[in-house]
Amino acid sequence: MAKKPEAALSLRPLDDRVVVEPLEAEEKTSGGILLPDTAKQKPQQGKVIAVGPGKLSEKGVRTVVGVKIGDTVLFGKYSGSDVEVSSRELKILRESDILAKLAK
Q: Is residue 33 part of a domain?
A: no
What pLDDT digit, counting tens, does each position of 41-67 carry? Answer: 667 899 999 999 999 889 989 999 999
Report pLDDT for 3: 39
pLDDT the model gives residue 28? 63
The predicted structure's pLDDT at residue 39: 57
pLDDT at residue 35 tops 70: no
How much is the pLDDT for 73?
95
* Domain-located, residue 31: no
Residue 4 lies in a domain: no
In a domain, 35, yes or no: no
Give the dihedral of Cα atoms 62, 58, 76, 24; nearest 10 deg. Answer: -20
Query: Which domain range does residue 62 map to?
Result: 17-22+41-101
In a domain, 82, yes or no: yes
Phi, psi of 95 (to 5 degrees): -60, -35
Give the CA count within 13 Å in the CB-facing half-sphere of 18: 28
| Domain count for the chain | 1
Is 27 among the domain residues?
no
Q: What is the pLDDT of residue 85?
A: 87
- In 3D space, the residue among 11, 80, 84, 1 whose CA is nearest the CA of residue 43 turns out to be 80
Span 10-22, mean pLDDT?
89
Q: Is residue 48 part of a domain?
A: yes
pLDDT, residue 4, reads 44
What CATH number should be reported for the domain holding residue 73? 2.30.33.40
The whole-number average pLDDT for the span 25-51 is 73
